[in-house]
Structure 1
Amino acid sequence: MKNRVVTISREFGSGGRTIGRELAVKLGIPCYDEEVIEKLAERSGYSKEYIKERGEYAPAATWIGSALAGRDRNGYSVADSLWRVQSELIQELAEQSPCVIVGRCADYLLRDRADILTVFIHASMEFRAKRIVEVYGQREDSPEKRLRDKDKRRRAYYQLYTDTRWGEAANYHIALDSGVLGIGKCVEILADLYRNGKEN
């Protein structure tokens, strides 16, 4: 069988990154998350900090605001350039070997592959607010405000570059509530789906 790839899309604070990493360890395959940022920095010449912020998040909270932001007279932006490099890189990673790819619109970029499992991880505001304080520490803004801002900008970025609704269950093979199921159970479910799919 061809390489099998799992893409993890997630609400901010839902634990999607952790689920992706733990799933990759359980399956014995690479997980691309921070590694994508490093590779993008090498190829694009942009700093890792810039890519971390702009590789998944729109500059404005709406897709239309983001579509108009920072464009030159030819209609191109730095974000467009980064998107092209990111798209090529994710396609290459999927071709190299079985892997887990966290975020970066990988579910959309690899949508035509027959060997992909697309996942969306979500959770309640209460669960995510508690988790981001535990993981990232307390900030000046309230946890809820941080979550709303991150999700809005992630949604706007996704819609801008994919013309598809981020987080809509119909756009993924499976959506899991990490607050109800727990991180470990989400990993177990996805590992079972991956293994069963590989046997078919």
Structure 2
Amino acid sequence: MGHKIITIGRQFGSGGHEIGDRLSKSLGIPLYDRNLVEMAADKMGLSEISVEEVDESVLNTFLSAYRYPDHVNSFTGYGLPLNDSTYLTQSSIIESLAKRGPCIIVGRCADYVLRQNSGCLNIFISASMEDRVKRIMDRYNLTEKEAATAIKRTDRRRKNYYETYTDQNWGSTDSHQLLINVSKLGMERTLGLIEYLYKQP
């Protein structure tokens, strides 16, 4: 393919999006994260809110796997539950973006979707609960208890989503070349390490 892709899996509040954003600026390549939700919504002819309800949170409720869109999806057709349709649509978009040129993709099972692409650097970002709680408290103006609850809930949803569609363990060495604990390594050294690896021939 001739170019490289960075995929970033992450625990909620670990700084995965910040890492992706800063790498995007320093390397001069596009970042795809929440905008994948918007792109999928547009391609499926659905509202962004509808798609976001199942984005990375399959099995959020008992009925989530059984929810069907109320009209034909022009991309995947009719008959697939909304979460399955969203996954297939986002996967198609991820594959197209990867073919287009170098980029950074956060979440959405990108490491699995692009598993046949030898030019991928697949990274999983984690951090201590203390650091994650502080980050989420600051970002969303939550109490410590609210932040801790949001972290546990979001991690559970991301884990369920990933493992449902990949049959791989979320955050495992089976799917990633590099697992980084930002609390141990530090943000600047984390960025420096990923950038160094990306630039290797």
Normalised-by-shorter TM-score class: 0.7 to 0.9
Structure 1 residues 106, 40: CA separation in 2 closer, same or farther (over 3 Å shift)? same
Q: In structure 1, what is the equivalent of residue 81 of structure 2?
A: 77
Gaps of 5+ in 1: none
Match of 1:148 among 124, 143, 152: 152
Question: Greater share of helix residues, 1 or 2?
Answer: 1
Paired letter, 2:147: P
**Normalising by the residue count of structure 2, what TM-score does the alignment of the two structures yield?**
0.87
CA change 1:163–1:170 in 2 (3 A) is closer
CA distance in 1 between counterparts of 2:9 and 2:79 reads 28
Secondary structure (helix, strand or coil) at the match of 1:166 reads: coil
| TM-score, length of structure 1 as denominator length | 0.88
Number of corresponding residues: 193
Q: Percent identity?
A: 37
Q: Displacement of 1:119 after TM fit? A: 0.2
66 and 104 in structure 1: CA distance in 2 versus 1, 3 angstrom threshold:
farther
Q: Counterparts of 1:140 and 1:59 in 2: how far apart (Å)?
A: 26
The answer to whether the 8 A contact 1:66-1:157 is kept is no
Which structure exhibits the higher relative contact order, with contacts defined as CA atoms closer than 8 Å and separated by 6 or more residues? 1
CA deviation map 1:137-168 (0-9, x unaligned)? 11696221111111111101111111111112
Cα drift, residue 170 of structure 1: 3.3
Q: Which amino acid aligns with 2:85?
A: S
Is 1:34 the counterpart of 2:34? The answer is: yes
Letter in 1 for 2:16: G
Please give the root-mean-square deviation of Cα atoms over the aligned residues, in Å: 2.2
The answer to whether 1:172 aligns with 2:176 is yes
Contact residue 122 and residue 176 of structure 1 kept, 8 A: yes
Q: Which amino acid aligns with 2:96?
A: E
1:34 & 1:154 partners in 2: Cα distance? 14
* Mapped contact 1:66–1:156 kept (Cα < 8 A): no
* Cα gap change, 1:48 to 1:90, in 2 (>3 Å): same
Deviations 1:96-132 (CA, angstroms, capped at 9, x unpaired): 0100001110000001111000000001111101110
- Which ranges in structure 2 are unaligned for 5 or more consecutive residues? 70-77
Point out 4+ residue stretches in structure 1 off by more than 6 angstroms: none
Contact in 2 for aligned 1:66/1:160 (Cα 8 Å): no
Instruction: Name the CA distance, whole Å, in 2 between partners of 1:55 and 1:142.
Output: 22
Aligned to 2:73: none
Q: Distance in 1 between matches of 2:63 and 2:183?
A: 31
Query: Which whole-Å CA distance do the structure 1 matches of 2:58 and 2:182 have between them?
Result: 25
